[in-house]
A and B are shown apart, each in its own frame.
Chain A
Amino acid sequence: MILDLQNIYKDYQQDKLVVPVLKDVSFQVEEGEYVAIMGPSGSGKTTLMNIIGCLDRPTSGNYLLAGEDVLKCRDKEMSDLRLRSIGFVFQSFHLLARQTALDNVALPLSYAGVKKKERKERAAQALERVGLGDRMTFKPTQLSGGQKQRVAIARAMVNNPKILLADEPTGALDSKSGEQIMDLFRQLNDEGVTVVMITHDRNIASRAKRVIHIIDGMITEEGKSQANSMAVEEEEPQANGMAVEEEELQANSMAVGEVGKEAENG
């Protein structure tokens, strides 16, 4: 088991008010899975991602990342966990503008203490893997959005992390580049990479083999099995099911809005 989250709670302190963001979240991800965590904005999915990504600590609960108890780690060890076990892909790429694609991809390796020559080789391999073997010396400004995201994915992959953690990876891309990025994730997953993706977009989420819905800080429904999701395109009832889901979703997000108002009034 790569991810094992048990009874995760997360509260934020807002002035004197304690706002619960995650409420009793528990789920597991096995090695080689392709999971989408889906929810509307304000549902706590970003907080969840931060916790999975070892960027944040839950208020309570248990989290094992590849068997390691993340919550017992100190700051330095959290950094090392991020370095070794997690590959981040962000919505806005977060590439270093002044560095070439190759240097951008090699960055995590320098923190891992890899020798310079090996860094170049491995970064080059990673760029080949995402189909940018011919763009190694390009700077981010010379690359299209889709290409930038590929560089970012190469950077996330270069240190062979346990999971690839993507936060709205297609959010800043046009639909065509987005498609290509999704294809790339699929390809990487087929090659055995565990992918966890956070998104609010149902179409994107539907590309994953398993969808975890998070609404109002709670996991409401675990997605379909791999077999079922493969059949999505053909079966009408499935589409209906999705519609139902959407209604639920809206209802929930309204509920969130009301909670927010109440909080303001209080």
Chain B
Amino acid sequence: MLENIRLSLQGLWSHKMRSFLTMLGIIIGIAAIIAIVSTIKGTNEQIKENLIGAGDNTVNIQFYQGDYPYEIDYNGIPDGVPVISEETRQQLLDLKHVEGASLYTSREAYNVVYYKNTGLSGGRIYGVDRNYLDTCNYIIKKGRGFTESDYKKFRKVALLDESSAETLFQGEEPIGKTLEIQREPFIVIGVIAKSSQFEPVINTIEEYYDYSQNNNGALYVPDTTWPILYSYDEPQSAVLKLDSVDNMTVAGRSAAEILNSKINVQDDTMKYKADDLLKKAEDIQKLGQSTNMMLIWIAGISLLVGGIGVMNIMLVSVTERTQEIGLKKAIGARKGKVLGQFLTEAAVLTSLGGLVGVIVGIVLAEVISRVTGTLMAISVPAAVLAVVFSMFIGILFGLLPSYKAANLNPIEALRHE
């Protein structure tokens, strides 16, 4: 076998130009597929990252009315939605894959937060429990976080994220300054940020809407002080930290079920729902995938054409080497040997083409990613599959010429000019 491969390579080398041109069809087909797959994979990973945040495996469970989060500003406190107890939080924590669970209330912060004359026009205000910062992977950038006594003594203290700190203080040192929230003075004690920084790449207006909610700044107060600003017994949201992105959907759903079992509402569209970011990401990916599948089919046609080219050249090669085949058969090569030799040659030719195609495809994907600014990710299984597939093409399209060679009559073959 190795001997056959060596001989095939020798043969291909002796017809460099012809071998290259024959391989070209395969090279183009494989390169196209690899480039498409790398770009798809890059885009998919980008979508996932954008929606979920790299390395931030948190899932929010919010109270919904119909398809939208419950609007407490307009609808007031709903009946039959009890405050989520610590016991229930423990239940959430006991779910599989859940590493942290936290409860919070939140409202839009439109025109309710001021520092001197500067207002926060947008963003959200959160009343968070003691576990929130840990669960959501926040780190203290400046100042300090909430302490137990902040909660116990109902201290009117607030944390800002970097975006709201920038909007409100515009470079001024925020720590120790007094803010006005719902006309109540709150002292800024710290600035927090996500431990893994991540900037979503926004390409379309839809993506802008998807990400904008995270971007307008947020303000956090201890949940014990929430009634000072708003009211008691507001419906809470929960946030879970999970061991991996892939478990978000399942854990989120189970958590929502637990929470829903505690409520008793008239309107049955009102219930807890987990943000299924993973599904959202998959939906966006699927949208792109149908187009990409078409591209792959087109590239597949190029492979078919390449395969036919290989068959053609192999037939020529068999004709050219009729005497050689005749001789080999005359001196005792079995049919299988001749068949094997030509099949190996075809497979080596296309595998080589596949290999070159993978390299060209990766370079192509890299170039596309540089030019368009989108991500690309090399898929190793796809690359391996591409080479194996091109080998398979070689064997498939080499079958006819090899069969022809193996069944040549040695007497006539030897006499062939």
A residues whose Cβ falls under 8 Å from a Cβ of B: 50, 53, 55-56, 75-76, 79-84, 86, 88, 90, 94, 96, 98, 107-108, 110-112, 116, 155-156, 159
The CA of A155 and the CA of B330, in the complex, are separated in Å by 12
Shortest Cβ gap from B401 to chain A (Å): 19
The CA of A82 and the CA of B323, in the complex, are separated in Å by 17
| Given known A-B contacts A96-B324, A98-B14, A111-B337, A83 and B331 have beta carbons under 8 A apart | yes
Q: Does B329 contact A (CB under 8 A)?
A: yes
- A-B interface pairs (CB < 8 A), number: 56
Q: Does B363 contact A (CB under 8 A)?
A: no
Q: Is the CB of A79 within 8 A of B334?
A: yes
Q: Does B258 contact A (CB under 8 A)?
A: no
Which chain B residues lie closer than 8 Å to A76 at the CB level? Answer: 334-335
Give me 23 A-to-B residue pairs in the complex whose CB atoms sit less than 8 angstroms apart, sorted by A's number: A50-B411, A53-B330, A79-B332, A79-B335, A80-B332, A82-B330, A82-B331, A83-B331, A83-B332, A88-B331, A94-B323, A94-B324, A94-B326, A96-B324, A98-B10, A98-B14, A108-B331, A108-B332, A110-B3, A111-B328, A111-B334, A112-B332, A156-B331
Shortest Cβ gap from A258 to chain B (Å): 26
Which chain B residues lie closer than 8 Å to A96 at the CB level? Answer: 324, 327
Interface size on B, residues (CB 8 A): 20
Other-chain residue from B11, B14, B328, B332 in contact with A84 (beta carbon distance below 8 A): B332
Q: Mark B318-351, 1 if CB is under 8 A from A, else 0.
A: 0000011011111111110100000000000000
Residue of B with least CB distance to A167: B414
The CA of A107 and the CA of B329, in the complex, are separated in Å by 11
| Given known A-B contacts A94-B327, A98-B10, A98-B14, A111 and B332 have beta carbons under 8 A apart | yes
The CA of A86 and the CA of B332, in the complex, are separated in Å by 9
Residue of B with least CB distance to A116: B3
| Chain A interface helix/strand/loop/mixed | helix
The CA of A110 and the CA of B14, in the complex, are separated in Å by 22
Which chain A residues lie closer than 8 Å to B11 at the CB level? Answer: 98
Shortest Cβ gap from A86 to chain B (Å): 8
| Given known A-B contacts A94-B327, A98-B14, A55 and B411 have beta carbons under 8 A apart | yes
The CA of A86 and the CA of B330, in the complex, are separated in Å by 9
Which chain A residues lie closer than 8 Å to B330 at the CB level? Answer: 53, 55, 82, 88, 94
The CA of A149 and the CA of B163, in the complex, are separated in Å by 89
Q: Is the CB of A75 within 8 A of B335?
A: yes
The CA of A107 and the CA of B410, in the complex, are separated in Å by 16
Known: A111-B337, A116-B3, A156-B331. 10 other contacts (CB 8 A): A50-B411, A75-B335, A76-B334, A83-B332, A86-B332, A90-B327, A94-B324, A94-B330, A111-B331, A159-B332
Most buried by B among A81, A84, A107, A116: A107
Other-chain residue from B10, B14, B414 in contact with A94 (beta carbon distance below 8 A): B414
The CA of A175 and the CA of B11, in the complex, are separated in Å by 35
Other-chain residue from B10, B333, B334, B414 in contact with A90 (beta carbon distance below 8 A): B414
Q: List CB contacts (< 8 Å) of B360-417 with chain A.
A: 410-411, 414
Q: List CB contacts (< 8 Å) of B4-21 with chain A.
A: 10-11, 14
Q: Is the CB of A56 within 8 A of B411?
A: yes
The CA of A111 and the CA of B333, in the complex, are separated in Å by 6
Shortest Cβ gap from B338 to chain A (Å): 10
Which chain B residues lie closer than 8 Å to A88 at the CB level? Answer: 330-331
